[in-house]
Amino acid sequence: MTDRPGLRERKKARTRALIQKEALRLFREQGYAATTVEQVAAAAEVATSTVFRYFATKEELVMVDQFPPFMEALRGVPPEAGPVAAVRLAMRAVLEGQTAEERIDGLERERLMLTVPELWAATLGNVTGVLKKLRDALAEREGRPADDPELRDVTGAIVGVIMGVWLEWVNDPSMDATTELDRALSHLEAGLPLPRPAG
């Protein structure tokens, strides 16, 4: 009897993942605007009401809260690592822990969020939420208040670098976004040096 809630939660998680997977497939194949929630429900073999039970809006079908696994990884980074290094190592751990399919789906979600006009408002809200969560997490880690202006600067720089990579990847899908993200954060960690080209 005690394992029933766990089984029920796992079934809910599987259903949610299936709905989102089918939604991403349809968005990729026929476009976000052309895909209806009814089509997503049919593809996932669930009722339309079931889709809305897990996702209040069509936009939410694209969103995934990646912060819990990131926070878990961040807690595993040694305390002597600076904030940029800590974020880079935590992101690397999360990405390395994903299957190839999970990584492809994650990049597809990012592409949709950055290219579909209907998702821009949701994307802005997502970025704003990430900024706040990251700032709070780094404040706790660094022992500083969350409204510390230097902490604001560091958090903004980290998110700015990440957004820069994602925006470039949207225009060049052949780019290895995960490798480039690690390189970009390493560059930020080094102070963003920009040596003048020789000659």
CATH number at residue 21: 1.10.10.60
Q: How far apart are CA 51 and CA 190, in angstroms?
A: 45
pLDDT digits (tens, 9 = 90+) for 19-71: 988 998 899 899 999 999 999 999 999 999 999 999 998 988 888 777 788 88
If one counts every other C-beta atom within 10 angstroms of the C-beta of residue 84, the result is 20
CA 118 to chain centre: 18
* Within-domain flag for 199: no
Domain finish residue from 57, 78, 102: 57
Statement to judge: residues 72 and 41 lie in one domain = no
Instruction: Give the percent of the chain with pLDDT over 90.
Output: 48
pLDDT digits (tens, 9 = 90+) for 109-140: 888 888 888 888 777 888 888 899 999 999 99
* Within-domain flag for 78: yes
Out of 51-65, 72-86, 148-162, which region has the weakest mean confidence (pLDDT)? 51-65
Helix, strand, coil percentages, rounded to 5, for the chain: 75, 0, 25
* Within-domain flag for 198: no
* Within-domain flag for 196: no
Statement to judge: residues 144 and 177 lie in one domain = yes
* Within-domain flag for 24: yes
* Within-domain flag for 38: yes
* Within-domain flag for 167: yes
Q: How far apart are CA 56 and CA 59, in angstroms?
A: 8
Statement to judge: residues 10 and 84 lie in one domain = no
Domain hosting residue 45, numbered range? 4-57
Tokens representing 109 are 């979600």
The whole-number pLDDT of residue 199 equals: 64
Site of tokens 């706790």: 140
Statement to judge: residues 165 and 84 lie in one domain = yes
Statement to judge: residues 40 and 84 lie in one domain = no
Site of tokens 């694209």: 62
Statement to judge: residues 178 and 86 lie in one domain = yes
Statement to judge: residues 110 and 24 lie in one domain = no
Number of domains within the chain: 2
Statement to judge: residues 37 and 89 lie in one domain = no
**Does the CA dihedral 26-129-102-12 come out positive or negative?**
negative
CATH number at residue 138: 1.10.357.10
* Within-domain flag for 159: yes
Statement to judge: residues 8 and 70 lie in one domain = no
Statement to judge: residues 143 and 128 lie in one domain = yes
Q: How far apart are CA 122 and CA 13, in angstroms?
A: 23
- Dihedral pair phi/psi, residue 99, rounded to 5°: -75, 165
Query: Amino acid letter at 105?
Result: D
